[in-house]
Structure formats: C-alpha cells, structure tokens
Structure 1
Amino acid sequence: MGISSALAISRPPFLPSISCPLASPLRFKWLQQRTLLVSLRCWCGPSPKLNSDSETSDKSFSLGMSKSSWCAALGAVGFLETAYLTYLKLSNSEAFCAIGGGGCNDVLNSEYSYVFGVPLPLVGMVSYGLVTLLSVQQSGKNLIPGIGEIDVRFLLLGITTSMATASAYFLYLLGTKLPGTSCSYCLISVFISFSLLFITLKDYALEELQKFVGLQLAIAAIVVATLSNSYTITSPKLPGSSDMILEPYETEITEQSTTWTIALAKHLHSIGAKMYGAFWCSHCVEQKQMFGREAAKILDYIECFPEGVGKGRKMAQECTLTGLEGFPTWIIKGKVLSGQQNLQALADASEFVSQDSSYQLASKQNQS
C-alpha cells in the first residue's frame, strides 16, 4: 500500500460523520491526524523497538554489574585490607592470620614491607583508593571535575598494570626470599590486583590494546626497576651460600677519647643526633675509633642488624623507616649525612662550640 493510498482514506469506519452535531471540529481534526498516523504505520510496517537492553548489555560485565561497579567494589575491598595492614604496621601490632599462623607477621615485619622507607601497605592503600575513586567516576559520578571518560580509562589502565606488576614481583619475593612463609593477605591482594587488571583490559577492544602494549611493558619495567632498587641496601652481600647466616658481633674500640671528642659526643647525644650502622660495616667501626672508646659509648648508635644477617634475619624497623642509603648514616637536626664523617663536619652540622684547648689538636688529627 502506498502513501497516496493511505492518505486517500478519508473517513475510517470509526470516524463520526461531519454532520453529527455531537462531534466538535476540534475532535474531528484530532481523529483525522490519528487516522493518518495509523495508516502510515501500516504502510511502513511496525516501528522498530528501542532496544533498551543494548546499553545495559554494553555496560554489564557479570552478575548484572558493570565493569566500573566491579572495579569500585574490588578496589574498596583492597582499600580496606591495606588500611588494616597499614594500621598494624604503624602501630606495631600483630596481624590476625587464620591461615599460615605467624607467616603474615613475618612478611609484614620483613625488610620487604617497605619501599624507600614507606610502608608497603600504605602504598597499596593509596593505589586501591585511586582505583575506587576513578571507577566511581567512570560509573557516572562526577567526583573529579575536569577528568573525562577517556582520561579515566587511561589512568585505570596504568594504575592496574602497575599494581598487577608489583603483586607479581612481591609474589616472587615471597617464594624466593621468604620461602616457606605463607601470607593470606598477600594472596588476597594479588587476586584483587590481577582481577582489576583483567576487568580494565576487558573495557578495551583488541585493536586498542595493541596500541597500549608498549606502554604497559614500559610501566611494568619501571615498577620492577624501582622495587628492585629500593631493596639493594636491605642486607649486605655475603660470600658463599645464600643460606649463610652471619651472627652479630662487637668490635672493640681501642682508641682513647680526648676531652674534645667526649664533649662532642655529649653534645650530639643532647640534641638527639643518631648514628645508624651495622656490625659488619668497617666504616662504622672506623667512625667510632675517631671518637675513641669512652666517647663512642655516649653516642646514640643504632645497630641496624641486631639479629645478624642472612636467611630469616631482617633489618631493624627504625633503620628501614629511615630509608638509609648506606652505613654509617648520621641524622643531626634533620640533616642526613651519609658515609663516614670527620669530627669537624659533625661538629659543624650539630653547631657544636667548645673552648677546650684540645680542640685544635683534635682538628689536626681529623684532617690528617
């Protein structure tokens, strides 16, 4: 049936006669328009239904939840877990570990629980928090003004790639550096990190992912290099087997202190200056020899390996938190002095002034 045929229908059976006194001109006009629409619909065929489920199916991922909802939920779980571990780390509390016994505490207190002096759970908490915030933003909540959908997708890809790489690296450390130690919190974090990466990748088409493979590999390489570099000074390289254990020992200080070195040591102690060292460090011993036997006992010396060095032995927590770059390391009035220092440099850094007559002699000895 053509359009002309449809328009030719002047009055369908259900239309009242024009002469009918009960039919107002306004109602007749409305009925004419309705008839025309019905006729056009018959000619054109049934109108296509708007597929209201199409948009839902595009966003739906699993169990009726969208990808952004899944990422937000997993990110929130990871945030709560790492927030709990951060609290334990900062308060020196024991972790509840139903599986693995004390393995969780061994991992939480190991030298690998810090990255450049920052507690690892704190880094994880910030990362999970960012993922949760960006996922909520992606779901349509404008929590961060000025960030579009493309920016959110790109940031999520970068962050989840970094988190999955870091999780894989720590899983490697758990199996090689801490063999036989189990940590349920670590495994949960690994699962969440890889799940977030998988969900994020599902948001990209294959052609898009091919463009970002190089970027993801670069991010993974940077993460591994950064983490590896942060652990280079956690323990010394011991000759022989990696299972070798070096028990702590004390080296005798044979030099005699002068009045000036004793006064300097007392001054350093009074202002809270600290010397961080290790029993196996020859430069630490030489630094103490410069002060002499009596003065060295006055110094606030922090032994960073009180339990020895080797398998299962860890650096003292105070040393790990400081983020040392070598031994000895002095911290004087907020200033960090790395390496062995001459006494005059320590006196200048601590603003030590003495009228003792042995000052000149001590200075000459230091310069020589």
Structure 2
Amino acid sequence: MSISSALVISRLPSLPPIRCSLAAPLRYKRSSVVSLRCWCGPSPKMDSDSGASDKAFFLGLSTSSWCTGLGAVGFIETAYLTYIKLSNSEAFCAVAGGGCNDVLNSDYSNVFGVPLPLIGMVSYGLVTLLSLQQSRSNLLNGFGESDVRFLLLAITTSMATASTYFLYLLGTKLSGTVCSYCLISVFLSVSLLFITLKDYAFEEIQKVVGVQFAIVAIVLATLSNSYTMTMPKYLGSSDITLEPYETEIIEQSTPWTIALAKHLHSIGAKMYGAFWCSHCQEQKQMFGREAAKILDYVECFPDGVGKGRKMTTECTLAGLEGFPTWIIKGKVLSGEQNLQALADASGFVSQDSSYALASKQDQS
C-alpha cells in the first residue's frame, strides 16, 4: 500500500514553487484598480443630474431647447408690436374688426407709462438668453445652473401671471374685442412656465412655491396699481381744483375725416372724454379742426375737477373705464383709436378712395 502510494506521488507532475512575495502584490494591485473604478462611478451620475434640462422633453428636444424656441417666437412677436406701438402704425390683424389695434391703443397697453409690448420683449429676450445659457452655451458668465433655473422660474411665473391678468381684462374691460396677439402671448408664457416646472422635482417645487406665490402677488398688485393710476388723481382729491379749459385743435381736416365725422354723427356714435385728457386731445387732432366740431363729443367734467365737482350723469351711466371712450352701435372702444378702426366699427365706406388716401398721408 505504501509502495503504490509512493509510485503515484512520484508520477505527479512537479509543481512550480509558490512565490508569495510576487503574487500577493499583483493581486493587490488589481484590487486597487477595482476600488478606483468604484470611486469614479458616481461621477457620470452627477453630470446627468446637473444637466437635467438636456433630457428629451418632447419630440426629442430638451426643455431648454423648447424654452429657447418659444422665447424667440415671443421676442419676435413683441418686438413687432413694440415697433407698431412706438411708430403709431397699424398692426396686421387676422381677425376682422381691428381688435388688435383697439387693444394696442387702449389704456391697458401701458404699465406706468411703459409700453406693454416693450416689457414683453425684454421678458422673452431674457428667457431666450437664460435658456441658451442652460444649454451650456456660456453666454452669461458668473451664472450657475441653479441661478439660471431660479431666474427662469421667476420670469416665467411673472409672465404667466401677467398674461392671465390681461386675458381677464380682455374678457371684461375690453369685452367683444378679439386680439390674436394677446392669445398667442398667453399660450407662449403659460407654456414656458409649464416647461420650466418640468425641470423641478416635486420636493423642489415645494421649496419654491412660496416664492411663486410672492411673485404672483407682486405682479397683480403692480398691474392693478398701474391701471388704477390711469384714472386722473384729481378724481380722488378734495384739496385740488382744476377749472375746465379748452385745447386748440391746430390740424386741418381732410375731406375723408369730415365725411367720417358726419357718418359717426349720423349713426349716433359718441366720444366720451375729459378736458385734461391728453389722449382725447390727440384723438380730436386726428380728425382736424372742422371734423372735430361735427363729432358728438361728451365732456364728462364740464364744471372742472375738485371738491363738489363730479362726473356728469351720462358718463357715469355709461360705465366708462377711461378716456377717451367711443360707443359705436352699442360697442365700447376704450382708448385712442385710429381713424380706420373707427370707420370699420361704424361701417363707414368712403365714396371716394382719394379721401382715405389723403387721410392716411396726413396720419403718417
């Protein structure tokens, strides 16, 4: 038994000597590589978190790309309306009846004297720049990812709030007026807010919802205060008395403006105004001296403004929101109107096209 065992052992192949001093370091060297990979593993995850806005949102585009595109569209729209407002031109309106121009020339088209389209243009421009920065275009130095996200949230919240408020005014104070540009702006601003919120987790929204409510309150208070101040401060003052006065109309009337004034008079159209209202004087200047005398103009403060002096009963019953206000065939047109809008609202058709041409040349 011992002999056979010895033979078996003698036939086994000789094993190489174990060199522990070399094998162990090699094994530890490999384990150090594994530990290095474990340490580097979280790095890609951190990059993906910081670039959450680069994830596909809709149609393969990221939220930052959508905000950039919608912001650019809004910027172009408001830039066009700003040009129309500042140049006193007439905006192209796909809706018949000149509703876009009625809104653009109303008392609600300015906030503390600043044209509303100009404010919108600046807001859309900021959204576009911040969205490009969020796409890592590095347009703005010193702005981190968290700064850009917060600014986008604040701006889009204020824009959506203002657009909703203007939509309320369009349906109440300017009822019957259709403004396609207003509806487009509402869609763009609300969409921008929705897309911006998509980058926030539910826990993050809970942290910033208080800031959003504060922004909403500030925007609503600012707009409400601005439009309250469009009414003259003399109306609420008992210490100041303003005597009525007349402003001379220096512009010459054209045959077209005289014909329009006669038509407005024939259908019972009325213009309500106040002697201290600069827009009322500008409206009369558009007609010219001769045509303005034909208009049915209602002075709402014939006795002046001050203690014991009130608006006339006719103006009070008309429910005026500001001056001037036109009531044509039961339709209320608030604010200074261009002559073509008055012609369209009253159904005026000139017998001689040269009248309209002369009128347009005078306005330009």
Q: TM-score, normalised by structure 2?
A: 0.55
Trace 1:134-145 onto structure 2 (pairs within 5 A): 134-145=130-141
Q: Which runs of 5+ in 2 are unaligned?
A: 1-17, 236-267, 276-297, 307-321, 338-364
Question: Could you list the per-position Cα deviations for residues 317-345 of structure 1 after superposition, in whole angstroms to 9, with x for gaps in the alignment?
Answer: 8xxxxxxxxxxxxxxxxxxxxxxxxxxxx
Q: Does 1:219 align with 2:215?
A: yes
Q: What is the distance in 2 between the residues matched to 1:226 and 1:246? A: 34
- Hey, what's the Cα distance between the residues in 2 that align with 1:166 and 1:140? 29
Q: Which of 119, 124, 132 is 1:123 aligned to?
A: 119
- Look up the equivalent residue of 1:280 and give its one-letter code: C
CA distance 1:251–1:96, shift in 2 (3 Å): closer
Do the aligned partners of 2:274 and 2:324 also contact (CA within 8 Å) in 1?
Answer: no
- Report the count of equivalent residues: 240
Aligned-partner SS, 1:142: coil
Call closer, same or farther: CA 1:101–1:249 in 2, change over 3 Å: closer
- For residues 229-250 of structure 1, give each alpha carbon's deviation from its aligned partner in whole angstroms, at most 9, with x where no partner exists: 111144589xxxxxxx995689
Match of 1:280 in 2: 300
Query: Is 2:192 the partner of 1:196?
Result: yes
**1:149, 1:179 → 2: CA distance?**
43
Contact 2:102–2:333 under 8 Å retained in 1: no
What residue in structure 1 maps to residue 334 of structure 2? 314
Asked if 1:167 is matched to 2:187, the reply is no
Amino acid at match of 2:324: F
- Mapped partners of 2:73, 2:326: distance in 1: 36
Matching residue's letter, 1:153? R
Residues 161 and 219 in structure 1, CA contact (< 8 A), matched pair in contact too: yes
With a CA cutoff of 8 Å and minimum separation of 6, indicate the structure with the bigger relative contact order. 2
Unaligned runs of 5+ in 1: 10-35, 238-244, 253-277, 287-302, 318-368
Identity within the alignment, %: 64
| Residues in 2 aligned to 1:153 and 1:96: alpha-carbon distance in whole angstroms | 36
Q: Summarize the alignment of residues 4-83 of structure 1 with structure 2, pairs less than 5 Å apart.
A: 58=52, 59-62=54-57, 63-83=59-79
Write out per-residue CA displacement over residues 251-299 of structure 1, whole angstroms, 9 at most, x where no aligned residue: 99xxxxxxxxxxxxxxxxxxxxxxxxx943467478xxxxxxxxxxxxx
Query: Structure 1 CA distance, aligned partners of 2:214 and 2:226?
Result: 18
1:98 to 94, 109, 112: 94
The alpha-carbon distance between structure 1 residues 199 and 308, as it changes in their structure 2 partners (threshold 3 A), is same
Q: Give how far 1:304 is off.
A: 5.5
In the alignment, which of 194, 212, 228 is matched to residue 224 of structure 2? 228
* Alignment partners' CA distance in 2, 1:313 and 1:186: 17
Match of 2:173 in 1: 177
Cα distance in structure 2, aligned partners of 1:207 and 1:165: 23
From the two aligned structures, give the one with the greater helix fraction: 2
Whether the aligned pair in 1 keeps the contact of 2:273 and 2:324 (CA below 8 Å) is: no
Contact 2:112 2:226 in 1 (8 A): yes
Q: 1:285 to 1:144 in 2, by over 3 A?
A: same
Q: Is the 8 A contact 1:67 1:200 kept in 2?
A: yes
Q: Shift of the alpha carbon at 1:202? A: 0.7
Residues 315 and 183 from structure 1, CA distance in 2 versus in 1: closer, same or farther, beyond 3 angstroms? closer
How many angstroms apart in 1 are the aligned matches of 2:336 and 2:139?
41
Relative to 1, partners in 2 of residues 1:78 and 1:69: Cα closer, same or farther, differing over 3 Å?
Answer: same
CA deviation profile, 1:16-46 (whole Å, cap 9, x unmatched):
xxxxxxxxxxxxxxxxxxxx99xx89xx9xx
1:76 deviates by 0.4
Alignment CA distance shift 1:250-1:136 (3 Å): closer
Q: Compute the displacement of 1:52 (Å).
A: 8.9
The AA in structure 2 aligned to 1:209 is I
Note if 1:158 corresponds to 2:154: yes
| Aligned-residue offset at 1:61 | 3.0
1:251 touches 1:285 (CA, 8 Å); kept in 2? no
Aligned mates of 1:88, 1:280 — CA distance in 2: 30
CA distance in 2, matches of 1:136, 1:251: 49
What pairs up with 1:254-265 in 2 under 5 angstroms?
A: none
The letter of the residue matching 2:205 is L
SS at match of 2:200: coil
Alignment root-mean-square deviation, CA? 4.3
CA distance in structure 2 between the aligned counterparts of 1:139 and 1:223, rounded to whole angstroms:
28
User: In 2, Cα distance between the equivalents of 1:228 and 1:53?
Assistant: 47
Q: Provide the rounded CA distance (Å) in 1 between the counterparts of 2:146 and 2:44.
A: 24
- Deviation per CA, 1:142-187: give whole Å up to 9, x if none: 2121111111111110000000000100011111111121111111
Q: Secondary structure at the match of 2:56?
A: strand
CA contact (8 A) 1:162 1:220 kept: yes
- Tell me how far apart the structure 2 counterparts of residues 136 and 54 of structure 1 sit (CA, whole Å): 21
How far apart are residue 308 of structure 1 and its match?
7.8
Distance in 2 between residues matched to 1:251 and 1:88, nearest whole Å: 26
Match of 2:128 in 1: 132
Of residues 318, 324, 330, the one that matches 1:305 is: 324
Is 2:206 the partner of 1:186?
A: no
